[in-house]
Amino acid sequence: MAAKRPGSERRSDALSKERIIEAAIQILDAEGEGALTFRTLAARLATGSGAIYWHVANKDELLAAATNEVIGRVATELLGDVEPREAIRSFALGVFDAIDAHPWAGTQLSLKPWQPAMVSIFEGLGGRLQALGVPPQLQFNAASALLSYLQGLAGQYAAAARLIARDADRADFLGDVASQWAQLDPVEYPFIRRVAAQLPDHDDRQQFLAGIDLILAGIDTVR
């Protein structure tokens, strides 16, 4: 049997843009955006930085591609014949979960609003408004309201990821904030003092979905 020449077959683990993006996501999830460099990426992939540059021009392009990947999975997972309102709720909740799992993606979405991932979100939300019965002339405003709400979420999670230690206890952190709210002037901040007790134990996911439902209820009034 003739010996195979070195390099005569393509390696099954050959470097690809997909592998680079997946490795970048793993680094971002484990250590944050500051840890993602082409050197650390090359070490993880057991290759040279030059090989990575062949597929990705710079870190900004890599971050955009990684964000697009985690957001793109949301649309892929939302398959089947789903009623328009439920499709919007499910899609929005999928984006929430993606940002919750990958806070660095929230940073990217808040910094660069018209990158491919954000365009995908806009389509995912707005594309179902016609089926919901929203008049064409009002669809842009309705979709923009939903998108703005999600952008606010992205910015909030991005800020939290920068300010709160990874090993911090959520209940303790929110408890401290609630204590500060409870000490505010009751005349100047009556609402903040009323809701302070609800802050430590509130469910972020449930509260987010309640906001989506409020926006959809408003959209119902113009159908």
The pLDDT profile of the chain, 223 residues, written as one tens digit per residue, is 444 434 333 333 578 999 999 999 999 999 988 999 999 999 999 999 899 999 999 999 999 999 999 999 887 776 567 899 999 999 999 999 998 889 899 888 887 778 899 999 999 999 999 889 999 999 999 999 999 998 888 777 777 766 666 666 777 888 999 999 999 999 999 999 999 999 998 888 899 999 999 999 999 988 7
Integer Cα distance of 123 and 146 in angstroms: 11
* Structure token digits, residue 144: 């923009």
* Structure token digits, residue 7: 């390099």
Domain borders along the chain are 58-220
- Nearest CA to 146 among 94, 44, 203, 219? 219
pLDDT of residue 80: 63
- Nearest CA to 204 among 100, 113, 57, 62? 100
CB 27 within 8 Å of CB 62: no
Integer Cα distance of 49 and 46 in angstroms: 10
Rg, the chain, Cα only: 22
Integer Cα distance of 186 and 155 in angstroms: 29
Integer Cα distance of 78 and 188 in angstroms: 45
The one-letter amino acid at 12? S
Residues ≥6 apart with Cβ < 8 Å to 7 = none
Q: Give me the helix-helix angle, 84-101 and 136-163, nearest 10°.
A: 20
Integer Cα distance of 7 and 17 in angstroms: 21
Tokens 């179902």 correspond to 128
Q: What is the DSSP letter of 175?
A: H
pLDDT of residue 11: 37
* Structure token digits, residue 61: 């392009």
User: What is the CATH code for 58-220?
Assistant: 1.10.357.10
